[in-house]
Structure 1
Amino acid sequence: MMPDQTELCTVCCCTLANKVLMVLFMVLLILAILFGNLVTLAVVLGTKHFHTPQGYLKASLAVADLAVGAFVVPLSVYAEVYLMATDSAPEWTSYNSRSVRFHPCNVIGPVFAGCTLVSITTIFLLTIERSIAVLRPLHKDSVITRRRTRILVVLSWAGSFSLAVSPMVFSSEIALEYNSCSRMCNYALGAVGEFPSPAWNILLLFPAFDFTLLGATVVINVVSLSGIRQHSKRRKRLAESERHGVTKPTFSDIKAAKTIGTLTVAFTSSFTPIAVFVVGNVLGNEWCDFSFFAFWILASNSCWNVIIYSVRDQKFRRCAHKLFVKGSKSSGTKRTPPGGQERECSFNT
C-alpha cells in the first residue's frame, strides 16, 4: 500500500514549486523520448542503407525506448498532475496490484521492466554483432544475417517480458504499486517489514541477470576496442607493404563498434543506480530520495540513444538531416544534398 504523501516525499516533490518542476521535467522527457526515437525509427526503417542486422537491432532498441515515453512516463505525469489539481492522489495509488482486480501498474510496471531488459539484451546483441564485424570481418556476412537477427530480436522481447512478469507469476508475496518515492510503478515486497525468502531471491534475479549481461557486454566491447587498436597499429606499421591481402574491418565497422561502446557506457551508467537500489531495497533500506533519482536517470536514458547516434554516426546524422529537409520542402527552398549522401540516404517511398 502506498504511504501517505506527507510521510514520504522526495526532495524533488515536497513543495509546490518542486512538484511543478518535476511534472515539467516529465513532460519534456516524454517529448524528447518520442521525438528522438521516432526519428531513429524513421531513419533506420525508412533508409535502405540501414536495412542491415545492426539497423534492425537499433530499431528494436528504439521501440523499447519509445514504449517508455508512450506508456511509462505518462502514467506518472497523470498521477502527479491529478495530485496537484485535487490535492489528493488517484485512488489506485493507495493500493497495490494484489488488492484490486485491475491496477494500472499491472501493465506499466512490466512494460518498464521488460523494455529495460530488452534494451540490455539488444545492446548485448549489438556488441556481439560489432565484435564479429571487427574481429572476424571475413565471416561477418555469413554469421550475421538478417533472418538470424530478426529471430534474435523476437527472442529478446519474449525472454525479457517473460522475466519481467516472473516475479508476479512465481510469488504471491510480490505486488506492483505506484511508489510515492520513485513516482513510478515498482515491484513491492510483501507487507511492510516482511521480506519473504522466496520473493527476496526472485527480485534479485533482475540485478543478477542485468549485471551478468552488462558485464559480458563490457568485456566484449573491451576485446573489440583492443582489436581496433591493434589493427590501427598494424595498419600504420604495414602501410603500403606486401600485406594488402589481409582482411581488415572497414572504417564504418570500426566507427559503429565505437558507437556501440558509447551506448554500453551510457546504459551501464544509467542502470547501475537502479541495481544498487533494488539490492538495498530487498535488504530493507527505504532510500526514498535515492529511488527517485535512480528510476528517473534510467528513464532519461531512453532519449540518449538518438543523441549518441547523431554525434558518433555521420551517416545517421546525414540521413536524419535529409529527413528533415525532405519534410520542409513545401515551406521553403529546396536543398540538394551531396551525391554520396543522396545515395546512402535514399528513403523508401
Structure 2
Amino acid sequence: SIFPSHLCKPSIICVLVYIFLGLLSISTIFGNLLVIISITYFKQLHTPTNCLVLSLAVADLLVGVLVFPFSMVFTVTSCVYHEDLFCKIRDSFDVSLCTSSILNLCCISIDRYYAVCQPLTYRTKINIHVTVIMILVSWSVSVLIGIGIIIAGFTLNYEKCKENCFIYVLLGDILAPVFSFYLPMIVMLCIYLKIFLVAQKQACSIQNTTCQSLKSRATVSKMERKATKTLATVMGVFLMCCTPFFLCFAFQFFTHESVPVSVLETLNWFALSNSTLNPFIYAFFYSWFRGPDVFLWEITSFLCYHEN
C-alpha cells in the first residue's frame, strides 16, 4: 500500500477531503470532455479559435486525469513519498500540464486580440496553420519543463521531501514560474487591457454616430457591461486561482524560508481549480464558442443520438 500503516484507517476528515477532491476531479474531467466532444463532433465549431479551446480542454482534462489523483494522495496522506520518484512524477505532471493550460489561455487571448482589434486582417493572420504552431509551441514548452523536472529533480534529496515537494533548483525557482505564470500573465493582462480599450472606443464611436437616442445608449451601455464582465471573468478567475500559489512560491524562494506544506497544497489546489473552471468560462459564457445554436441543446442531441 502507498499509505503508511498509521493511515490505513483514514479519519473522517480525510474521507471528506477525498470526496470533495474526487468531485472536483470528476467535474474537471466531465466539463472538459464535453468541450472536446462538442468541438470534435460539430463541424460548425471547427475554427482556429476553437482549436485553441480544444487544446486548452485537452490540457485541463489531463490535469483532471493525471494531476488530481497524485495531488489527492499527497494532500490527504501528507507523508507519502516513494523517495524522489513520487515527487518527480507528481510535480512533472503538475507543472507541465498546468503550464500547457496557462499557455493555451495566453494563445486564446492573442486570438481574441486579432479578432477584436484587427478584424479585417484576422482571418489572414490567425489561420489554421498559425493556430497549430501556437498549440505546438505551448505543448513543447510545457513538455520541456516537465522533462527538465524529471532530469534535474525537484527536491535534491531535501530531507527526502519530508517538508516540501516543490522545486529547489534553478529550473523550478526561476524558469518554471516565469514561463508557467508570470510571462503569460503579463501578456494576457496587456492583451485584454488593449481589447477592452478598443471595445470601449468602438462603443463610443457607435454612440457618437447615432442620434443619441435612449435605445442606442442602452445598447452601448450593454456592450460595455458585457465586455467588462467577460474580460473581468477571464482574468479574474485566472489571477484568483494562480496568483496566491506563485506569490507564496516567490516568497519561499527569496526569503529561503519553507512555507508549511498545508499552505502550499491549499494554494496549489486553487491553481489546479482553474482547469475546472476553464470549460465553463470558455464554453458556456462565450457566444463565439456556442455558435449559432444553443450549446447545451447540441450536447443533449449528441448524447441522445448515441444512446439510441
Answer yes or no: same fold by TM over 0.5. yes
User: Equivalent of 1:266, from 237, 242, 260?
Assistant: 237
What is the identity, as a one-letter code, of the residue corresponding to 2:144? S
Distance 2:21 2:115 in 1: 39
Equivalent residue of 1:328, what SS? Answer: helix
Q: 2:64 aligns with which of 66, 69, 86?
A: 69
* TM-score, scaled to structure 1: 0.71
CA contact (8 A) 2:245 2:267 kept: yes
The partner residue of 1:303 within 243, 254, 276 is 276
Separation of aligned partners in 2, 1:308 and 1:200: 34
Shift of 1:168: 4.8
Please name the residue that 1:32 is paired with.
27
Residues 310, 157 of structure 1: CA spacing in aligned structure 2 closer, same or farther, 3 A cutoff?
Answer: closer
AA matched with 1:150:
V
| Residues 131-182 of structure 1 deviation map (CA, whole Å, 9 limit, x = unaligned) | 1111111100110001110121011101122123334545796469996778
* Cα distance per residue 1:46-74 (max 9 Å; x no partner): 22222111101111111111111111112
What's the CA shift string for 1:290-339, capped at 9, x where partnerless? 2121011111111101222354224528223321233236879xxxxxxx
**Residue matched to 1:322:** 298
Instruction: Report the AA paired with residue 43 of structure 1.
Output: S
Matched, 1:206 2:185: no
Give TM-score scaled by structure 2 length.
0.79
Specify every segment of 5 or more residues in structure 2 that has no aligned partner in the other structure, as ranges: 212-221
CA distance in 2, matches of 1:38, 1:74: 17
Deviation at residue 285 of structure 1 after TM alignment: 2.5
Map 1:5-16 to 2 at 5 A.
16=11
Aligned partner of 1:42: which letter? Answer: I
Determine whether 1:18 maps to 2:13: yes
1:1-349 pair list within 5 angstroms: 16-77=11-72, 93-96=81-84, 103-169=85-151, 174=156, 186-189=165-168, 199-200=169-170, 202-209=172-179, 210-239=181-210, 259=230, 262-282=233-253, 283-314=256-287, 316=290, 318-328=294-304
Identical pairs, percent: 22
Q: Structure 2 vs 1, CA of residues 224 and 330 (structure 1 numbering), >3 Å: closer, same or farther? A: closer
- Does the CA-based 8 Å contact 1:38-1:66 persist in structure 2? yes
1:201/1:71 CA distance change after superposition, 3 Å: closer
Matched AA of 1:207: P
Is contact 1:123-1:264 (8 Å) kept?
Answer: no
Unaligned runs of 5+ in 1: 7-14, 97-102, 190-198, 241-250, 333-349
CA contact (8 A) 1:5 1:180 kept: no
Q: How many residues align?
A: 286
- Name the stretch that deviates more: 32-41 or 66-75: 66-75
Shift of the alpha carbon at 1:230?
Answer: 0.7
Other-structure match for 1:344: none
Q: Distance in 1 between matches of 2:175 and 2:111?
A: 26
**Cα contact 1:181–1:291 (8 A) shared by 2:** no
Per-residue deviation, 1:200: 4.8
- Cα deviations by residue, 1:97-136 (Å, 9 ceiling, x for unpaired): xxxxxx2443332121111111221111111111111111
One-letter amino acid of the structure 2 residue matched with residue 219 of structure 1: C
Query: Aligned partners of 2:245 and 2:92: how far apart in 1?
Result: 15
Larger radius of gyration: 1
Aligned alpha-carbon RMSD (Å) = 3.6
Distance between the aligned counterparts of 1:177 and 1:110, measured in 2?
19
- Alignment-derived partner of residue 216 in structure 2: none
In terms of fraction of residues, the more helix-rich structure is: 2
Rounded to whole Å, the distance in 1 between the matches of 2:297 and 2:160 is: 40
